[in-house]
Chains A and B, each alone.
Chain A
Amino acid sequence: DAKTTQPPSMDCAEGRAANLPCNHSTISGNEYVYWYRQIHSQGPQYIIHGLKNNETNEMASLIITEDRKSSTLILPHATLRDTAVYYCIVAGTALIFGKGTTLSVSS
C-alpha cells in the first residue's frame, strides 16, 4: 500500500500558484519524498525530491514540514500544460504509486 495520502483532485486557475499537499506520517528517517506527474497516459515525469530541507528547481518547490510528516508541492505559476495527475511518493526500495492528485488548471 502507498505510504502517502493525497486529495483526489484539485483545481487551479492559470497563472496562480498550485499547492498540492501530501501526508506521509509513517516516513522513516532516511526515506526521500518524491513527486512525479503523469500527463494523460504518458510516462510519469520526475518533478522534485527532498529529504529534510525545502527544495526548488525550475519546475517546482517542495516544502517539507520539520517533523517530515507532510509536504507540499508548489507550482508557482500553473499553466494549462500542468494539468496532470501528481504523485507524492515516499521511496524505500521501490516507487509505490498511490492514486495521486488530479490537478486541473483552467483559464
Chain B
Amino acid sequence: DSGVTQTPKHLITATGQRVTLRCSPRSGDLSVYWYQQSLDQGLQFLIQYYNGEERAKGNILERFSAQQFPDLHSELNLSSLELGDSALYFCASSVDPLSSGVKNEQFFGPGTRLTVL
C-alpha cells in the first residue's frame, strides 16, 4: 500500500460524457502527478501540481483538466470522452516537486480504470 488513494477503482461511461477522477496523496506529500496508461501509448505523464499550483504539463489533452485543492487532494476532469480515452489513470505523489537536480521518489496509487463505450 503506497498511501495514495484513488477513487473510483472502475468507471464505465459513454462517449461524450464527463467524469471526475479523485486522488488523495500520501500524508505530507505536496506534489501530485497524473498519468495515463493505455495499451498502445504506454504510461504517459499528464500533469503535475505542487501545493495547489500547476507545475508541469505533459501530454494532456485540452478536454482534460486537473486541479489540486487546499487539502492537497487532486481531481482530474475528463470531458467529451472518446473511445480512445479508455485507459488506466494513475495518480502519484511526492514530498517535493520533480525537477532537475532534485531527487524525487513518487508513490503511485492503484489507478482508476476508465472504460468509454
A→B interface (CB under 8 Å) = 28, 30-32, 38, 41-46, 49, 51, 87, 91-99
Contact = CB atoms under 8 A, between A and B. Distances in A.
B105 A49 contact: yes
A28 B43 contact: no
Interface in B87-101: 88, 90, 92, 98-101
Interface in B15-66: 33, 35, 37, 42-45, 48, 55-56, 58
B98 A45 contact: no
Nearest to B111: A43
Interface of B: 2, 4, 33, 35, 37, 42-45, 48, 55-56, 58, 88, 90, 92, 98-101, 103-111, 113
B73 to A, nearest CB: 17
Contacts of B56: 93-94
A28 B100 CA distance: 9
B58 A94 contact: yes
- Could you tell me the dominant secondary structure of chain B's interface residues? strand
15 contacts: A41-B37, A41-B111, A42-B111, A43-B4, A43-B110, A45-B2, A91-B100, A91-B104, A92-B99, A93-B55, A93-B98, A95-B106, A96-B45, A97-B35, A97-B45
Contacts of A31: 100-101
B42 A45 contact: no
Contacts of B106: 46, 95
Nearest to B56: A93
Contacts, number: 64
A45 B104 contact: no
Nearest to A28: B100
Contacts of B103: 32, 49, 51
A51 B100 CA distance: 11
A38 B2 CA distance: 13
B42 A99 contact: yes
Given A41-B113, A46-B107, 14 more contacts: A31-B101, A38-B43, A43-B4, A44-B43, A44-B90, A44-B108, A91-B98, A91-B100, A92-B98, A92-B99, A93-B100, A94-B48, A95-B106, A98-B42
